[in-house]
């Protein structure tokens, strides 16, 4: 939530705080040291209540305590992000070399989803000593400033370099924002020299590219660096010590090696092509997604822009999908780089309903498997039970062209995906 759920409670607590402060000020000279300490403790407790008004008592369960801890961290992170307004926006952008700006509206759901990721990224960048200043602007409250900065939708991310803006083209998790910001401000590759550095790197990155080179020079290395600078989503790392590199990718056997590492069952994928920038980037585009990708508002743009144009969508309730996930991953392994597998929570109307409407199945609550061929705008429906074997047979038929297209209900409009990404347009 962007606003407090209980404004009257906050007002009451602030009023009590003021009364206590006034009383404390009047009686401070007449109080003995012990009473003074007690009053101070009471004040601190009251102020803490004001900040934590929605929290449970001290005997709250561990899960609730963990939630508060996360909220507290987020609150501190958000304070790192500078709030722009009519008075300071021009000065801040003109006086700082790098400013990453989030334009938002308080009522915008997408803005609310992105805000905590942006704040977490701000904390990480500060810890890394990044020169990027993270800022946010309430574009609804300051429409003239928003217009001057070319903020046309919510949310909008823009990077200002010496006062000149460029569009944000990265992912929308905190880690992805950090990676993009560092790449655009001079750190496209992280060099790993020691075991300690490798261990620390593993803790911080869920997906990355590792390159092993005997020397950081030569045509292969130059292609690696060019790919790192061109890619907007994945952190690149380099090493010259094979034992250090093996901590990141255990199966490395020789130098001039490149591989991608992901935090999922299909964790390691080695590159076996020639070291040319375009080939490396193509390899990453086809291998950066997990075996089964869960579609969200924040990753939808990346999913729709995948070069894998044959996409199978599984609609299921979260509990039902848990039992289907592992066998579905086994199926997906057989179609890597050929078919992309995507899961959508069928209960999530914002994501599921627009797709299901195309099949006339918008009221369905049972597990469904559909497919889209984005090259030809064709759609398909698995009309048998969604068992792993039937899904595998369905995918084979898609690849070989033996599955009939589904013509019932509406055809896929040219802008079918635009309606899902409308509030993310300004991010891409």
| pLDDT of the residue at 346 | 95
| pLDDT of the residue at 71 | 53
160 and 94 housed in the same domain: yes
Q: Tens of pLDDT along 392-418? A: 999 999 999 999 999 865 544 544 444
Please determine, for residue 208, whether its predicted confidence score (pLDDT) is greater than 80. yes
Kindly report whether the peptide bond that precedes residue 155 is cis, defined as omega within 30 degrees of 0.
Answer: yes
| pLDDT of the residue at 51 | 42
| pLDDT of the residue at 299 | 86
| pLDDT of the residue at 133 | 96
296 and 280 housed in the same domain: no
| pLDDT of the residue at 409 | 54
What would the mean pLDDT of 31-36 be, rounded to a whole number?
36
Which H or E run includes 160?
Answer: strand 156-161
Residue 1 lies in a domain: no
Q: Tens of pLDDT along 165-174? A: 999 998 888 9
Q: What is the average pLDDT value for the chain, to the nearest integer?
A: 81
344 and 258 housed in the same domain: no
229 and 297 housed in the same domain: no
Model's pTM, two decimal places? 0.71
Residue 64 lies in a domain: no
Residue 70 lies in a domain: no
To the nearest whole percent, how much of the chain has pLDDT over 90? 63
Strands 132-138 and 208-212: unpaired
| pLDDT of the residue at 39 | 38
Do 213 and 220 form a contact (C-beta atoms < 8 A)? yes
100 vs 176: CA distance, rounded Å: 13
Q: Which of 158, 183, 208 is the last residue of a domain?
A: 183
Q: How many CB atoms lie within 10 A of CB 150?
A: 12
Q: In which domain, by residue range, is 367 found?
A: 292-427
What would the mean pLDDT of 151-171 be, rounded to a whole number?
93
Do 140 and 106 form a contact (C-beta atoms < 8 A)? yes
Residue 69 lies in a domain: no
What would the mean pLDDT of 40-48 be, rounded to a whole number?
38
pLDDT confidence band for 264 (50 / 70 / 90): confident
Q: Which residue has the higher pLDDT, 39 or 343?
A: 343
Please determine, for residue 316, whether its predicted confidence score (pLDDT) is greater than 80. yes
Q: Which of 164, 183, 202 is the last residue of a domain?
A: 183
| pLDDT of the residue at 273 | 94
Q: Tens of pLDDT along 232-241? A: 899 999 999 9
What would the mean pLDDT of 373-379 be, rounded to a whole number?
82
305 and 398 housed in the same domain: yes
Q: Which of 183, 198, 221 is the last residue of a domain?
A: 183
Residue 68 lies in a domain: no
Residue 415 lies in a domain: yes
Q: What torsion, rounded to 10 degrees, do the Cα atoms 371, 376, 378, 384 define?
A: -40
38 and 81 housed in the same domain: no
| pLDDT of the residue at 384 | 94
Q: Which residue has the higher pLDDT, 15 or 71?
A: 71
20 and 85 housed in the same domain: no
| pLDDT of the residue at 77 | 57
Question: What CATH number should be reported for the domain holding residue 132?
Answer: 3.40.30.10
What would the mean pLDDT of 196-213 be, rounded to a whole number?
94
What would the mean pLDDT of 204-221 be, rounded to a whole number?
95
Please determine, for residue 152, whether its predicted confidence score (pLDDT) is greater than 70. yes
200 and 162 housed in the same domain: no
What would the mean pLDDT of 129-143 be, rounded to a whole number?
95
pLDDT confidence band for 305 (50 / 70 / 90): confident
Please determine, for residue 4, whether its predicted confidence score (pLDDT) is greater than 70. no
Q: Which residues contact 335 (CB under 8 A, 6 or more apart)?
A: 341, 395, 399
Residue 61 lies in a domain: no
| pLDDT of the residue at 119 | 94
| pLDDT of the residue at 122 | 95
Of the listed ranges 24-28, 141-145, 259-263, 322-326, the least confidently predicted one is 24-28
pLDDT confidence band for 46 (50 / 70 / 90): very low
211 and 274 housed in the same domain: yes
Tell me how many domains the chain contains: 4
DSSP string, 260-311: EE-SSSS-EEE--S-S-HHHHHHHHHHHSS-SEEEP-TTTHHHHHT-S--EE
Residue 339 lies in a domain: yes
pLDDT confidence band for 302 (50 / 70 / 90): confident
94 and 177 housed in the same domain: yes
268-270 sheet: strands from edge to edge? 189-191, 235-239, 208-212, 257-261, 268-270
How would you class 48 by CB atoms within 10 Å of its CB: exposed for 0-12, middle for 13-18, buried for 19 or more?
A: exposed
147 and 271 housed in the same domain: no
Q: Which residue has the higher pLDDT, 374 or 353?
A: 353
Give, in order, the Cα–Cα distances in Å from 97 to each of 23, 107, 134, 155, 159. 48, 31, 12, 23, 10
259 and 246 housed in the same domain: yes
């Amino acid at each position: 939530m962007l606003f407090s759920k209980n404004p009257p409670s906050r007002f009451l607590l602030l009023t009590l705080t003021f009364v206590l402060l006034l009383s404390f000020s009047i009686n401070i000279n007449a109080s003995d040291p012990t009473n003074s300490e007690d009053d101070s403790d009471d004040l601190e407790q009251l102020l803490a209540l004001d900040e934590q008004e929605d929290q449970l008592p001290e005997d709250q369960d561990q899960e609730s305590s963990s939630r508060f801890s996360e909220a507290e961290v987020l609150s501190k992170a958000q304070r790192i992000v500078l709030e722009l307004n009519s008075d300071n926006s021009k000065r801040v952008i003109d006086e700082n070399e790098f400013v990453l700006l989030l334009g938002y509206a308080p009522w915008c759901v997408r803005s609310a989803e992105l805000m905590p990721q942006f704040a977490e990224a701000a904390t990480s960048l500060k810890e890394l000593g990044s020169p990027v200043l993270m800022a946010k602007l309430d574009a609804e409250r300051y429409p003239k400033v928003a217009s001057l900065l070319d903020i046309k939708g919510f949310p909008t991310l823009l990077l200002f370099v010496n006062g000149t803006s460029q569009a944000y083209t990265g992912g929308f998790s905190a880690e992805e924002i950090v990676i993009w910001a560092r790449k655009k401000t001079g750190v496209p590759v992280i060099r790993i020299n020691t075991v300690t550095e490798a261990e620390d790197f593993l803790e911080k990155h869920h997906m990355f590219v590792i390159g092993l080179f005997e020397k950081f020079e030569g045509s292969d290395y130059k292609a690696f660096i060019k790919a790192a600078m061109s890619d907007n989503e994945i952190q690149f790392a380099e090493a010259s010590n094979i034992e250090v590199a093996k901590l990141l990718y255990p199966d490395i056997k020789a130098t001039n090696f490149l591989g991608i590492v992901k935090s999922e069952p299909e964790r390691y994928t080695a590159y076996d092509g020639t070291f040319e920038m375009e080939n490396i980037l193509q390899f990453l585009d086809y291998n950066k997604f997990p075996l089964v990708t869960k579609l969200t508002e924040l990753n939808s743009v990346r999913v729709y822009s995948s070069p894998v144009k044959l996409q199978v969508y599984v609609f299921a309730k979260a509990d039902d999908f848990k039992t289907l996930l592992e066998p579905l991953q086994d199926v997906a392994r057989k179609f890597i780089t050929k078919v992309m597998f995507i899961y959508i929570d069928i209960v999530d109307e914002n994501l599921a309903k627009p797709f299901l409407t195309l099949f006339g199945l918008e009221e369905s609550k049972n597990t469904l498997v559909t497919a889209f061929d984005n090259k030809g705008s064709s759609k398909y429906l698995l009309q048998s039970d969604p068992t792993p074997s039937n899904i595998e047979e369905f995918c084979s038929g898609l690849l070989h062209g033996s599955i009939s297209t589904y013509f019932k209900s509406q055809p896929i409009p040219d802008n079918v995906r635009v309606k899902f990404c409308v509030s993310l347009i300004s991010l891409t």
